Amino acid sequence: MTNPALEPAPVQRLLSLDVLRGITIAFMIMVNNNGGPGSWHFMNHAQWNGLTPTDLVFPTFVFVVGVSIVFAFDARLARGADRGQLARHTVQRAAILFVFGVIVNSFPLFALAHMRFYGVLQRIAICYLVAGLFYLYDQRAWTKVAALVAALVGYWILVRWAPIPGVGVPGRDVPFMDMTQNLVSWLDRHLFPYHLYLYPPDHNVRDPEGLLSDLPAIGTALMGILAGLWLRSRRAVAAKTAGLAGAAVVSLVLGYGWSLEFPLNKNMWTSSFVLVAAGYSLALFAVTHWAIEQQGWRRGWTWVWLVFGSNAIAAYMFSELLPSALYTMEWGVGRGRENAIGWVFAHSFQHIPEAGWAAFAYSVSFTAVCFVPVWILYRKKIFLKV
The whole-number average pLDDT for the span 21-26 is: 96
Tens of pLDDT, residues 48-79: 999 999 999 999 999 999 999 999 999 999 99
The pLDDT value given to residue 194: 86
Q: What are phi and psi of 180, to 5 degrees?
A: -120, -30
3 state SS for the chain: CCCHHHCECCCCCCHHHHHHHHHHHHHHHHHHCCCCCCCCHHHCCCCCCCCCHHHHHHHHHHHHHHHHHHHHHHHHHHCCCCHHHHHHHHHHHHHHHHHHHHHHHHCCCCCHHHCCCCCHHHHHHHHHHHHHHHHHHCCCHHHHHHHHHHHHHHHHHHHHHCCECCCECECCCECCCCCCCCHHHHHHHHHCCCCCCECCCCCCCECCCCCCCHHHHHHHHHHHHHHHHHHCECCCHHHHHHHHHHHHHHHHHHHHHHCCCCCCCCCCCCHHHHHHHHHHHHHHHHHHHHHHHHCCCCCCCCHHHHHHHHCHHHHHHHHHHHHHHHHCCEECCHHHCEEHHHHHHHCCHHHCCCHHHHHHHHHHHHHHHHHHHHHHHHHCCCCCCC
The pLDDT value given to residue 305: 96
List the Cα angle 268/155/264 in 5-degree steps: 40
Task: With a cut of 90, say whether residue 7 has pLDDT above it.
Answer: no
Task: With a cut of 50, say whether residue 20 has pLDDT above it.
Answer: yes
The pLDDT value given to residue 3: 59
Averaged pLDDT of the chain = 92
CA 110 to chain CA centroid, nearest Å: 24
Task: With a cut of 80, say whether residue 21 has pLDDT above it.
Answer: yes
Whether 301 contacts 287, CB under 8 Å:
no
Cis amide prior to 200 (ω within 30 degrees):
no
Tens of pLDDT, residues 236-263: 999 999 999 999 999 999 999 999 999 9
The pLDDT value given to residue 8: 66
For residue 289, the one-letter residue type is H
The whole-number average pLDDT for the span 99-113 is: 89
The pLDDT value given to residue 1: 46
Q: What are phi and psi of 68, to 5 degrees?
A: -65, -35
Q: How far apart are CA 26 and CA 57, in angstroms?
A: 10
List the Cα angle 126/56/122 in 5-degree steps: 20
Burial of 350 (0-12, 13-18, 19+ CB in 10 A): middle
User: What are the C-alpha distances in Å from 239 to residues 223, 252, 254, 279, 289?
Assistant: 18, 20, 22, 18, 11
Task: With a cut of 90, say whether residue 344 has pLDDT above it.
Answer: no
Task: With a cut of 90, say whether residue 130 has pLDDT above it.
Answer: yes
Task: With a cut of 80, say whether residue 204 has pLDDT above it.
Answer: no
Nearest Cα to 131, choosing from 151, 155, 117, 104? 151
Whether 266 contacts 45, CB under 8 Å:
yes
Q: In the chain, pLDDT over 90 holds for what percent of residues?
A: 78
Tens of pLDDT, residues 150-201: 999 999 999 999 999 999 999 999 999 999 899 999 999 999 988 888 877 7
Whether 56 contacts 109, CB under 8 Å:
no
Whether 58 contacts 280, CB under 8 Å:
no
Q: How far apart are CA 145 and CA 136, in angstroms?
A: 16
Q: What are phi and psi of 236, to 5 degrees?
A: -65, 155
The pLDDT value given to residue 68: 96
Whether 232 contacts 70, CB under 8 Å:
yes
Task: With a cut of 60, say whether residue 4 has pLDDT above it.
Answer: no
β partners of residue 195 = none
List the Cα angle 106/110/112 in 5-degree steps: 105
Residue of higher predicted confidence among 64 and 109? 64
Cis amide prior to 201 (ω within 30 degrees):
yes
Tens of pLDDT, residues 281-338: 999 999 999 999 999 999 889 999 999 999 999 999 999 999 988 888 877 666 667 8
The pLDDT value given to residue 136: 95
Q: In the chain, pLDDT over 70 holds for what percent of residues?
A: 95
